[in-house]
Each structure stands twice: as structure tokens, then as C-alpha cells.
Amino acid sequence: MEANLSITYISALFLLLAPSIIAQPVVFDITKYGGAPNGDLTSSLKRAWKAACASTSASKVLVPKNTYNLKQIELNGPCKAPIELHIEGNIVAPKDPIQLNGDAQWLRFGYIDSFTLSGGATFDGHGSTAWKQNNCHKTWNCKKLSMNFGFNFMNNSIIRDITSKNSKNFHVNVLGCRNITFVKFSIKAPADSPNTDGIHIGRSTRVRILHSNIETGDDCISLGDGSRQVIVKDVTCGPGHGISVGSLGKYEYEEPVEGLIVKNCTFKNTDNGVRIKTWPGTSVKIPVSRLHFENLVMINVTNPIIIDQEYCPWNQCSKKTPSKVKISRVSFNNIKGTSTTKKGMILICSSGVPCEEVKLANINLRFQGTPATATCKNIKPQVFGNVPICTP
């Protein structure tokens, strides 16, 4: 009887474990494709990727723990099954920016469904040499420098336990993606590194950035046109320029921005906290709606809360014609901490299309021990709880 029970138990256990055993991916180790420590990983990674992408069952490209050099590379699908790039080693970019095409990214992934990038690796973009040549933070007419990562037209993908360090330009560009998640993603660059935006999102839907830390010299996270259903949660930002929607309204054929949640985030020594910015002096009409900022902590932030519909850097536009970007259904709830300027909240909306349905609730910002003030223009917010009084 006991023997029969044991056989039954073992059979049941095998049936439970069988799916996970079957689901184990086929491993493509780059060392079998010529990859060697401290060597150039580029060609071996391409060969391993090609083989893995052709696999009809789930695959994993493995880069074992060590340091590798990597030239500019593009890894595309479609692949025949889910694919994972698991990198345990540290990956180093060429120091000289001339060796990288500034119109692309150092690592570009595209047209893949069910992709995972994991392994705990640090991708070092060696940006310090390039930053000295970068004047894009002063003028639009500048030499383009390469970003660390590009994720283009990806679906159902996840990037986890990865560090992007010292990119020459933006760290990450997300374009045309659907259902992509960054979790435990770390970005590291000094506060004075120009144009090193953390994660820029454009024309993408269902993007999540979770449990991550971003230290950089520009926006920690920025949303371009066409960004929809974006969640930013449990993210620490700083140094940097905060989390920005926009700038928007400068170019023709821009798409609406809708459905943003920024929740449980901390901003440390940043130029801005949360910001929405649009250009005046253009004819671009797009809606920006359903943006929610909740449970945020500001620590020595210069401008904790901003709506700026007169955004016009380097006097490239005319403020005589108001922005035509319509901002509505925005909420700022439970935001506290310290501002390094007296005006902790600045809400400058368009005189042509004033902001509508803006809710302010429980905002407690202090400047040098006293309550920070608020400046408001072309807006009649709904106020709940303790909120600074708006003055023109």
C-alpha cells in the first residue's frame, strides 16, 4: 500500500515538474561561438543570436561572467520562439564616439516578440570623452552621439537586473513598443553629463518602469508624443532633471499622450520633479490627458511640480502665439518634501487652450522651513486638502 502511494506521489510530482522541465530554454553560450574574456564580443554575439533566434523552442543566449568589449550591434527578429539575452559579464563600449554611428544606438534591438534582457550586467558606454564634444544641450544644430540602448518595435518584453552606465547620449530609447517592462533597471551618469536622459519613450503603449534607480544629467524619464498607458512606480530619480512629459507641440503629426501614472517615487537633488512642457508659437494640436502623479517625495528639488506651456529654450519660438496642446484630466496627489526655490509649484497653462480638470490634493512642499508657494496661470484647479494657494 505504501509503495503504491509512493509511486502515485512520485508520478504526481513528475507531472507537476514536467512543464517546467520541458520549458527550459535551449542555451547558446557565446564561448562556443568564439567569445572570450576581455575580447571583442561583437561577432560571437551575432552568431549566437542568429542561431538562438532560429530556434523553434525558447532560447537563451548566455554571456558568462567576465568583461567584454562590444562594438555597435543590431540584434533583430522576428524570432521563432521566445528569446532571452542573459549577460552576466560587464560590457564595454568603444571610447571614441567616432566609432559609433550617432544616428543609431550602441545596442539596438528590434522587431522581437517575447524578449528578455537579464543577467545583472553593466553596460559601460564610456561617455566622458563624448560629453566634451556634446553641445546638444545648447543648440539643436549639433553632432549626434550614440545612445546605449534602443528598443524598437518590441512586444511583450522585459529588461531586468541591468545597469546602463555613462552613455554618450540618452541611455535608453523606446520606440514603437507594446507591453515592455523595465524592472530593477539602474542608470548611472554624473549630474553634469549632457543629454544623458535615462529612459525616453515615444509612440509606445503599455510601458512599465518599476523598482529602478536613475542617476543622470538630464531627464530621468521622458515621454515623447504617442506615449500611452505608461506606469512609473517605485523609482528613485536623482541627480537629473526629473520625470517629464514632453516637450510636445513642436513638430507636425505628433500623436496624443494619454494614460500616465507616476507613483511612489522619490526625487533627490533634481532640477525638476514632475513636469509637463509644451511649445508655444506652433500650430500643433494634440491632447495630453489622464496624467496622475501620486505619493511622491521631493528632497532638495529645484522645481518640484511644473506645467510649462511656454517652454521655449534658446528663444527658438515666439511666445506671442499660445500653445495649442490641450492638457486635461491631470492630478497631483500626496506630494511632499523640500524645494530649493520658494515657488514649489508652477502651473503655467496655455491662454489659448487652458488646462482643464486638474486636481491638486495634499501637497506639502517646504522651502527653508516654510511652506513653498504656488504660481498658477490659465488654470482653475480643483483643490482637496492641504495645498499651496495659487497666485498669478
Could you tell me if residue 57 is inside a domain? no
Number of other CB atoms surrounding residue 26 within 10 Å: 15
pLDDT exceeds cutoff 70 at 39: yes
pLDDT exceeds cutoff 60 at 21: no
Q: Within the chain, what is the greatest distance between any pair of CA atoms?
A: 90
Contact status, residue 218 vs residue 188, Cβ threshold 8 Å: no
Rounded Cα distance, 179 and 277, in Å: 25
Contact status, residue 239 vs residue 216, Cβ threshold 8 Å: yes
**Domain range enclosing 310:** 72-391
Contact status, residue 34 vs residue 44, Cβ threshold 8 Å: yes
pLDDT exceeds cutoff 80 at 137: no
pLDDT exceeds cutoff 80 at 245: yes
Distances, alpha carbon 43 to alpha carbons 32, 80, 87, in Å:
12, 21, 16
Average pLDDT in the chain: 93
Residues of 131-147 as b/e, b for ≥16 C-beta within 10 angstroms?
A: beebebeeeeeeebbbb
Annotated catalytic residues are 241
Q: What is the pLDDT at residue 233? A: 98
Rounded Cα distance, 218 and 20, in Å: 43
pLDDT exceeds cutoff 50 at 6: no
Q: What is the pLDDT at residue 370? A: 97
Could you tell me if residue 96 is inside a domain? yes
Number of domains in the chain: 1
Q: What is the pLDDT at residue 20? A: 43
**What is the β-pairing status of strands 26-29 and 257-268?**
unpaired
Residues of 356-367 as b/e, b for ≥16 C-beta within 10 angstroms?
A: eebebbebbbeb
Residue pLDDT, tens place only, 8-18: 444 444 444 44
The residues facing 274 across adjacent strands are 243, 305
Q: What is the arithmetic mean of pLDDT over 246-271? A: 97
CATH label of the domain that carries residue 330: 2.160.20.10
pLDDT exceeds cutoff 80 at 147: yes
Q: The C-alpha cell of 70 is what?
A: 562590444
Could you tell me if residue 15 is inside a domain? no
Could you tell me if residue 268 is inside a domain? yes
Q: What is the band of 132 on the pLDDT scale with cuts at 50, 70, 90?
A: confident
Contact status, residue 358 vs residue 347, Cβ threshold 8 Å: yes
Q: The C-alpha cell of 3 is what?
A: 509503495
Could you tell me if residue 165 is inside a domain? yes
Q: What is the band of 169 on the pLDDT scale with cuts at 50, 70, 90?
A: very high
Could you tell me if residue 181 is inside a domain? yes
pLDDT exceeds cutoff 60 at 31: yes
Percentage, residues of the chain above pLDDT 90:
86
Could you tell me if residue 140 is inside a domain? yes
Give the single-character DSSP code of 284.
Answer: -
Q: What is the pLDDT at residue 136? A: 65
Could you tell me if residue 60 is inside a domain? no
Residue pLDDT, tens place only, 46-71: 999 999 999 999 999 999 999 999 99
pLDDT exceeds cutoff 50 at 256: yes
**Residues with Cβ < 8 Å from 281, sequence gap 6 or more?**
312, 317, 318, 319, 320, 321
Distances, alpha carbon 110 to alpha carbons 78, 83, 154, 237, in Å:
8, 13, 6, 27
Q: Which amino acid is at 84?
A: E
pLDDT exceeds cutoff 80 at 139: no
- Residue 62 CB-half CA count within 13 A: 10
Residue pLDDT, tens place only, 193-225: 999 999 999 999 999 999 999 999 999 999 999
Q: What is the pTM of this model?
A: 0.93
Q: Which amino acid is at 181?
A: T
**How many helices (H) and strands (E) in the chain?**
3, 29
